[in-house]
Structure 1
Amino acid sequence: MIVTTSLILLGLACIWLAWIDLRDGIIPDWLNLLIAATGVVRIAALAGLASAVAALCEGVVIGAMVWLLRWLYYNWRKVQGLGLGDVKLLAASAVWIGVVGVPIQLLIASVTALAAAGLMQLSKQPVTWLTALPFGPFLAVGLLAVIVLQQQG
């Protein structure tokens, strides 16, 4: 029951997150917290408290690594390449899919974002290196896809 409920909450949170990020260009902290918390509850129900704490620690490590990459990119290019909401979403995602799932999530998110940029270009919307495209919806798609892939294995 808890496992199914947490998956439903994750799906709804990802849809809501995508809508808000596309509309406002921001991912609310409470949505990232909801995603992380439902992941912790799910893992605790499936594998116990120690596994849930380990998953939470993986989320913190991923969040710190992505925040560092964000900081380095800004200091190199003087342009924010990734929002803090995206950093927090990747940290929350790691609670669900683990450190090994995050690269696959990023690959899926990047490919789908590139496809969206390509569709924008085909529809005569100008796309340049300065075009801002909210990445949260693509990260949400990547998260859900990785969960499905992990369930298959």
Structure 2
Amino acid sequence: MIAVAFLVLLALACLLLAWIDLRHGIIPDWLNLAIAAIGLARAANLDDWALVLSAIAEGILTGAIVWSLRWLYFKMRQRQGLGLGDVKLLAASAIWVGLAGIPMLLLVASLAALAAAGVLHLAGEKMTPQTALPFGPFLALGLLATLALQQMGWATY
């Protein structure tokens, strides 16, 4: 029952995150921190402190890798391609799905964002390389989908 409560809290946090990012174009730090804290509480609830330490390490490593890619993209293109809120969300997400789950999360998020851009284009929106589309809602969807796939045994931990 407690495991379900953690998942419900994560789903509610993801819904709130998507709503805020779509309306304001920002992912609040407190929400990323809440997602990370709920994930760590879930790991601690399993009485597996090695899992908690591993989750922390994977979150930090994911954050460092994605931040480095963000920095490299900026140096090459002279414009930001990914917000810091997205970087922090990926770090918090790694606490839930592990480093091995991040590629699946990014695949789901990218395909969903691409589909949304296609729908917007078909609806008559002008889509250019400069069109900004908040990525947080798609990352949240990717997190929930990856977690579900892991629970069903279809994705790695």
Instruction: Please classify the TM superposition score into its range, dividing by the shorter chain length.
Output: over 0.9
1:93 equivalent in alignment to 2:81:
no
SS at match of 1:149: helix
Equivalent residues of 1:35, 1:93 under 8 A apart = yes
% identical equivalent positions: 61
Counterparts in 2 of 1:1-153, with a 5 A limit? 1-153=1-153
Equivalent residues of 1:40, 1:52 under 8 A apart = yes
Query: How far off is 1:105 after superposition?
Result: 0.3
Equivalent residues of 1:25, 1:134 under 8 A apart = yes
Query: How far off is 1:47 after superposition?
Result: 4.8
TM-score by length of 2: 0.95
In 1, distance between residues paired with 2:142 and 2:65? 18
Following TM superposition, the consecutive aligned residue runs of length 4 or more in structure 1 with deviations greater than 6 angstroms are: none
1:19-67 CA-to-partner distances (Å, cap 9, x unmatched) read 0000000000000000001101111112511211111110000000000
Unaligned runs of 5+ in 1: none
Equivalent residues of 1:3, 1:46 under 8 A apart = no
TM-score by length of 1: 0.98
Query: How far off is 1:3 after superposition?
Result: 1.7
Amino acid at match of 2:43: I
Amino acid at match of 1:52: V
In 1, distance between residues paired with 2:36 and 2:52? 11
Q: Looking at secondary structure, tell me which structure has more helix per residue.
A: 1
| RMSD of aligned Cα (Å) | 0.8
In 1, distance between residues paired with 2:137 and 2:88? 13
